[in-house]
Structure 1
Amino acid sequence: MGDHTESSELTHEEREAIHEVEVGVEWLLRAYGHLLAFHHAVGHGMDHLDEAQGRLWAAGHETLADRIRDDILPRGVTADDRWTYSVVEEFQASFLTPVTDFEDEARAAVTGGRQHVAERAQERAWRKRAENGERIEE
């Protein structure tokens, strides 16, 4: 667990700004996870089509099997014929890595490298409220 006084020297704006950076990066990491899931789903679909190709040949449907072999299996998923692994690599190298590097830089400049300072402040406030038996008025 982190130092419980770590966000006291930050202004509200600093705490909120770094929180927005962190949450933005978390959403981009989720997008990256979805991109990986897309990559894996396409791969599984292609594996099934590869299996169908052999079964179609065995069943005497050579023309259909040849279409899978010649037109579908070698095809990329983008207009410029890139495969999903290439899209994943490009997203990671061209976008995600620079964004996470920025997050590290921003966190170092604003919080001295500490993570989740807004959440830690919220945790302290809620625990203090519980310890004091405070009630929220609506």
Structure 2
Amino acid sequence: MNPDDDGPSERYRRPDGLDDATVAALGKLSEALEIIEHARGHLYAFHRLTGKADFALGDAVELLRNAGHDELAERIDQELVGRNVIEGRWTFQIIDEYDETYYGPCKELERQAREKLADGRKHLFEAEMKEDRRTHGQKNHEAKPPSLRDLDP
């Protein structure tokens, strides 16, 4: 392998003139978006678990009725099955509001910052960290996958 080929793909190379402070700031912005994505994933887990719980409550109501506990079954059915988790909202509405109010604007501003400051390139901070941390020339420490090694200039 040519030593000049032992670097990141063009898409992960810092554009000319981009300073360390800006790369660090974009890296921190990217980190924040990743945390927000993770939080959003937890919202989806909350959504799915709450939905599963609601169906389990419905099953419990049916089993209680079958066991002759109609009054308790009716109370659970009326008070819990299909209940809002926050006033006026089921979990899908919470996710939609999160996406519209917080996630969407965060994602868009992160994209705009990359477009304005780094020609739209993602993960420059991480790519440079990889270059610093990997053992150059060592198997399984390559800068890019084999399929890309011969494609970059």
Same structural fold, with TM-score higher than 0.5 when normalized by the shorter chain = yes
Runs of 4+ in 1 over 3 A off after TM superposition: none
Hey, which of these two has a bigger chunk of helix by percent? 1
Asked if 1:105 is matched to 2:101, the reply is no
What does the per-residue CA deviation read over 1:49-103, in whole Å, with 9 as the maximum and x for residues that have no partner? 100111111111111111121100131111x231111101111111101110001
RMSD: 1.7
The alignment-based identity, stated in percent, is 28
Higher relative contact order (CA 8 A, sep 6+): 2
**Distance in structure 2 (CA, Å) of the matches to 1:5 and 1:22:** 16
- TM-score, scaled to structure 2: 0.78
Report the equivalent of 1:94: 101
Partner of 1:14: 22
Cα distance in 2 for partners of 1:31, 1:5 equals 29
SS of the residue corresponding to residue 66 of structure 1 reads helix
TM-score (norm 1): 0.86
Question: What SS does structure 1 have at the residue aligned with 2:93?
Answer: helix
